[in-house]
């Protein structure tokens, strides 16, 4: 109900890893450039607002305007009956209408993509099973473009999975038709040396709902920028994210929710764990409530759990409000250390240390995982987290279940 | 029949101003079926004794021994101690977000017993124990200690004691902050475990109030990191009327 952004008091607990209160944008998100022309985005040097946390020197390859390497990826799709899965030329009218490259990597992806993969869910269709798009990287550079088109009043789940290696720049374009209910999941389970920079643009129709879920577990550098816009009133965007960074990994998640239509809703919740001295994560959550967006209700939250000294989590929520006629707007950001008192409590009940650690970390992620709503994804995610924590997923799988 | 034996236990803690000596030679023996009350003023080191028995990493044992049936407790990890049969009801139980009470209890029971409990009887046992402690069944689906009131936290501690059936239980100020009703419910819980098992109890308290419900066999007065006087239940009555002043004055 409050007009002012509220800050979670917990964030002062670990101020050295929390830059949430330090950042004042020098420019409104409304003024950030978007363009289809590569020339409009100079190669980043690393000082630009949108690149200042990213190891840009390792992205030189992706910043170059270049086509895809032959055989860089294989893409497998698995879709229930009735779903249209097509390859489209980049100049097809179904490509690009909801997508606007917003940085150098996004524009080289768009320029370098030879074709787009199109997943169309017909109007009013209710899918009985998720659509899976599985991207496996082999070597070299790939420029990808995926269009997910959920017809009006349809209900569907689309899961985009990434594994393997290589350098990947990608655009994902999500159109959610009026009254549609779409769950879109992007899973980054890359090998340790993969690089992946992606932009996800969503255009949410009147009274439509998009649940956009990002799961990032592997890769050397993974950067996913998600931009949500509304094409009519009554839309809602639920942005969920879970990430787990190991030593040497850079994981960056940027969100921009652009409230222009009135009476829309957005809720963002990202949680990350960092393990290993050089693990680095970045979360930037920009929300813009334009003057026309009366009746907006928005909240965003990012929490990070640091498991080892030396890991670094940057967390920057940023809320711009241009109208007073809103329902609510708030954000919270906190980064904390693994709590040894929790570990002691569990161990004092006989629970071995490794199981106790897994319980605590699973518990940390539980509030997001419970909202994913796609069992194939949440179960795999939990198993993957167990593996990250050095356990075997199966051994105590039934000991540690998830709650909200 | 089990025996927890504490001999000349000396413990320090690291503070901002350097190493601080807290326990200065504690001797205590707790046998199955016995209830020992440890009474002492705030800051005398009672929680330090409890945490040291449980193995909290913040406390450094600099001398003495702790054994359970001859086994060296100090050489065990925290979870090994619990599996060996020690239990600590904490003065300030911590929240564990995202972990439900039911998941937590089942995980702990499995760890302590070395095998998963039979589902049917387990669910029944948990329900019954919660009912006895006047805990609403919805508690099972709440996250451990999250948003619990002070009284709910203490009931939850005693619930664990009932379900895990330790050989020796240390109860650290389980009575603090409870109103009379809650105190009675929690005390009845402890008495049920005493009646149905052979548990030895080390009851740490600041007040004599709880001793009206849980009858101690032995009372130890704890001041400035050591036991300064020992006796039977009558010692508690004397503390009730005289307070700790006499001991605090003497040790200064
Ligand atoms: N972790 C700690 N760090 C610093 N001082 C401590 C710590 N734990 C206990 N102490 C100090 O040791 C003394 C005994 O504390 P405690 O064992 O909690 O006493 P009691 O439980 O009898 O009130 C107190 O002076 C307390 O301040
Ligand atoms: Mg105490």
Q: Where are the domains of chain A?
A: 3-342, 343-404
Determine the pLDDT at residue A27.
Answer: 75
CB contact under 8 A, A401 and B77: no
Q: Quote the minimal CA–CA distance from B53 to chain A in Å.
A: 10
Residue A299 has pLDDT above 90, yes or no: yes
CA distance A2 to chain B (A): 24
Residue A149, pLDDT above cutoff 90: yes
From chain B, the residues in CB contact with A339 under 8 A are 94
Q: Which of A14-28, A227-241, B131-145 has the lowest mean pLDDT?
A: A14-28
The pLDDT tens digits for A345-357 are 999 999 999 999 9
Is residue A8 over pLDDT 60?
no
Mean of per-residue pLDDT scores for chain A: 90
Q: Ligand 1: which of B47, B58, B60, B177 to mutate, most ligand atoms within 8 Å of CB?
A: B47
What one-character-per-residue DSSP string does chain B give? --EEEEEEEEEEEEETTEEEEEEEEEEEEEETT-EEEEE--TTSSHHHHHHHHHT-TTEEEEEEEEEETTEEGGGS-HHHHHHHTEEEE-SSPPPEEEEEHHHHHHHHHHHHHSSPPPHHHHHHHHHHHHHHTT--GGGGGSEETTT--HHHHHHHHHHHHHHH--SEEEEESTTTT--HHHHHHHHHHHHHHHHHS--EEEEEESSSGGGGTS--SEEEEEETTEEEEEESHHHHHHHHHH-SHHHHHHH-
Q: Do A359 and B99 touch (CB under 8 A)?
A: yes
**Ligand 1 neighbourhood includes B22 CB (under 6 angstroms):** yes
- Ligand 1 atom with the smallest distance to the CA of B15 is 4
B178-192 pLDDT tens trace: 999 999 999 999 999
Pocket test for ligand 1, best of B17, B19, B22 (most atoms within 8 A of CB): B22
With a cut of 80, say whether residue B24 has pLDDT above it.
Answer: yes
Query: Looking at ligand 1, which residue's alpha carbon is closest to its atom 6?
Result: B13
B56, B98, B104: residue with CB nearest A344: B56
Q: What is the pLDDT of residue A26?
A: 62
Tell me the ipTM for this assembly: 0.97
* Per-residue model confidence (pLDDT) at position B252: 44
Distance in Å, alpha carbon of A69 to nearest chain B alpha carbon: 44
Residue A400, pLDDT score: 40
Residue B153's pLDDT is what? 96
In the predicted model, is pLDDT for residue B149 greater than 60? yes
Average pLDDT of every residue of chain B: 95
Q: How confident is the model at residue A394 (pLDDT cuts 50, 70, 90)?
A: very low
Q: State in Å: Cα B46 to ligand 1 middle.
A: 8
Neighbours of ion ligand 2 (CB under 5 A): B 46-47, 91
pLDDT score for A386: 84
* Residue B242 pLDDT grade (very low, low, confident, very high; cuts 50, 70, 90): confident
Model pLDDT for residues A79-128, shown as the tens digit of each residue: 999 999 999 999 999 999 999 999 999 999 999 999 999 999 999 999 99
Residue A390, pLDDT score: 78
- Name the band, by pLDDT with cuts 50, 70 and 90, for residue A207: very high
DSSP for residue A40: G
* d(CA A58, ligand 2 centre) in Å: 54
Please tell me the distance in Å from B54's CA to the nearest CA on chain A. 7
Least confident interval from A262-266, A339-343, A384-388, B218-222? A384-388
Check pocket membership of B40 for ligand 1, CB cut-off 6 A.
Answer: yes
- A28 — pLDDT class (breaks 50, 70, 90): confident
CB pairs under 8 A between A and B: 100
Chain A residues inside the 8 Å CB shell of B78? 344, 347-348, 353
pLDDT attached to residue B246: 85
Give the Cα-Cα-Cα angle A137, A141, A144 (nearest 5 degrees).
75
The answer to whether B78 contacts A355, with C-beta atoms less than 8 Å apart, is no
pTM of the model: 0.88
Per residue in A170-199, pLDDT (tens digit) is 999 999 999 999 999 999 999 999 999 999
Give me ligand 2 centre to Cα A333, in Å.
33
Mean pLDDT of B12-17: 95
Mutate to test the interface with B, among A345, A371, A397 (most CBs of B within 10 A): A345
């Amino acid at each position: 109900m409050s007009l002012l952004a509220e800050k979670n008091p917990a964030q002062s607990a670990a101020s050295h890893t929390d830059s949430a209160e330090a950042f004042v944008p020098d420019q409104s998100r409304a003024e950030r450039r978007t363009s289809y022309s590569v020339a409009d985005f100079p190669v980043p040097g690393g000082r630009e607002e949108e690149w200042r946390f990213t190891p840009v020197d390792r992205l030189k390859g992706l910043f170059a305007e270049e086509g895809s390497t032959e055989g860089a990826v294989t893409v497998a799709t698995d879709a229930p009956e009735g779903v249209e899965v097509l390859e489209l030329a980049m100049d097809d009218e179904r490509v690009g209408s909801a997508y606007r490259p917003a940085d150098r990597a996004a524009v080289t992806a768009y320029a370098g993509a030879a074709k787009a993969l199109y997943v169309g869910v017909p109007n009013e269709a209710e899918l009985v099973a998720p659509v899976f798009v599985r991207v496996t990287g082999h070597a070299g550079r790939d420029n990808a473009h995926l269009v997910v088109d959920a017809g009006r009043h349809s209900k569907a789940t689309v899961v985009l999975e990434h594994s393997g290696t290589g350098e990947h720049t990608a655009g994902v374009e999500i159109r959610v038709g009026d009254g549609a209910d779409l769950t879109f999941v992007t899973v980054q389970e890359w090998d340790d040396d993969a690089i992946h920079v992606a932009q996800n643009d969503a255009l949410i129709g009147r009274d439509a709902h998009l649940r956009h879920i990002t799961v990032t577990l592997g890769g050397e550098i993974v950067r996913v920028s998600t931009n949500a816009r509304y094409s009519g009133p009554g839309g809602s965007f639920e942005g969920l994210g879970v990430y787990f960074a190991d030593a040497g990994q850079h994981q960056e998640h940027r969100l921009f929710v652009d409230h222009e239509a009135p009476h829309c809703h957005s809720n963002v919740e990202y949680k990350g764990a960092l393990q290993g001295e050089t693990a680095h994560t970045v979360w930037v959550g920009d929300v813009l409530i334009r003057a026309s967006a009366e009746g907006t209700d928005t909240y965003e939250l990012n929490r990070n759990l640091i498991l080892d000294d030396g890991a670094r989590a940057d967390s920057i929520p940023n809320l711009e409000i241009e109208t007073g006629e809103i329902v609510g707007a708030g954000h919270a950001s906190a980064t904390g250390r693994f709590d040894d008192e929790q570990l002691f409590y569990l161990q004092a009940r006989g629970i071995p240390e490794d199981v106790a650690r897994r319980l605590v970390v699973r518990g940390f992620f539980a509030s997001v995982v419970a909202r994913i709503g796609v069992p194939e994804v949440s179960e795999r995610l939990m198993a993957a987290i167990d593996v990250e924590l050095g356990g075997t997923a199966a051994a105590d799988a039934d000991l540690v279940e998830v709650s909200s | 029949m089990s025996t927890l034996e504490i001999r000349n236990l000396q413990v320090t803690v690291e503070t901002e101003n350097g190493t601080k000596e807290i326990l200065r030679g504690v001797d205590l023996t707790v046998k199955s079926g016995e209830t020992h009350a440890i009474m002492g003023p705030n800051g005398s080191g009672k929680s330090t004794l409890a945490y040291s028995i449980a193995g909290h990493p913040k406390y450094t044992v600099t001398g003495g021994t702790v054994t359970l049936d001859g086994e060296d407790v100090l050489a065990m990890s925290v979870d090994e101690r619990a599996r060996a049969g020690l239990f600590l009801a904490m003065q300030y139980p911590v929240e564990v977000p995202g972990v439900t009470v039911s998941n937590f209890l089942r995980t702990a029971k499995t760890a302590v017993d070395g095998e998963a409990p039979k589902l049917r009887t387990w669910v029944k046992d948990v329900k019954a124990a919660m009912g006895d402690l006047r805990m609403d069944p919805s508690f099972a689906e709440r996250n451990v200690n999250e948003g619990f009131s002070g009284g709910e936290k203490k009931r939850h501690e005693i619930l664990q004691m009932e379900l895990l059936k330790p050989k020796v239980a240390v109860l650290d100020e389980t009575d603090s902050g409870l109103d009379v009703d809650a105190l009675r419910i929690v005390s009845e819980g402890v008495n049920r475990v005493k009646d149905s098992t052979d548990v030895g109890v080390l009851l740490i308290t600041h007040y004599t109030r709880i001793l009206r419900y849980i009858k101690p066999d032995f009372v130890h007065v704890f001041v400035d990191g050591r036991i300064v006087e020992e006796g039977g239940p009558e010692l508690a009555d004397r503390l009730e009327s005289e307070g700790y002043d006499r001991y605090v004055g003497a040790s200064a």
